[in-house]
């Protein structure tokens, strides 16, 4: 084998391997985003399940910012219910609960949980994830 043949073989091999290496890099980035997505989904579901498990009449209405949604803090002063929330760094929670009236009576409560995931750099805006559901009065 001559030196020219070896150089041609190395050039062809590198031309084939570079796209393969880029696909591995992109795949690992996708896995990292999936872990972040799992964290955000879990935080949203955790908060939503607590509201859904509470008795209808004890679920307060209003908007609750991240500083009011802490482990051990009450939902509101008018209810004995307390949040049981995992401490997840890098996320901001927001809870909105609105009444839905029918025939002059509150029959549903619309619950919206929004999670903002802060990015590692300050230049990128946070990613938002929302879950919505309706809580029904059973009687």
Q: In 3D, which of 124, 72, 131 has the Cα closest to residue 96?
A: 131
pLDDT tens-digit readout, 45-102 = 999 999 999 999 999 999 999 999 989 999 888 888 899 988 888 899 999 999 999 9
What are the structure tokens assigned to 50, written together? 């607590």
Beta-carbon-side half-sphere exposure of residue 131 (alpha carbons within 13 Å): 18
Q: What is the mean pLDDT of the chain?
A: 87
Supply 138's token pair: 């059973």
pLDDT band, very low/low/confident/very high, at 18 (cuts 50, 70, 90): confident
Q: How many domains does the chain have?
A: 1
pLDDT interval class at 133 (50, 70, 90): very high
d(CA 33, CA 27): 10
DSSP notation for 94-116 = EEEEEEEEETTEEEEEEEEEEEE
pLDDT score recorded for residue 11: 87
Q: Structural domain of residue 88, as residue ranges?
A: 3-136
pLDDT confidence of 22, banded at 50, 70, 90? Answer: confident
Closest by CA position to 48, among listed 137, 138, 129: 129
């Amino acid at each position: 084998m001559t030196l020219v043949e070896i150089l041609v073989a190395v050039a062809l091999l590198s031309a084939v391997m570079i796209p393969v290496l880029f696909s591995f890099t992109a795949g690992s980035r996708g896995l990292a985003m999936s872990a972040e997505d799992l964290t955000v989904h879990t935080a949203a579901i955790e908060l939503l399940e607590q509201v859904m498990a509470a008795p209808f009449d004890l679920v307060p209405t209003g908007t609750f910012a991240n500083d009011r949604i802490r482990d051990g803090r009450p939902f509101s002063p008018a209810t004995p219910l307390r949040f049981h929330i995992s401490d997840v760094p890098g996320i901001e929670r927001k809870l909105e609960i609105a009444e839905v009236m029918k025939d002059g009576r509150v029959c549903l409560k619309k619950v919206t949980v929004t999670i903002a995931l802060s990015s590692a750099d300050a230049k990128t805006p946070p990613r938002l994830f929302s879950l919505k559901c309706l809580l029904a009065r059973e009687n």
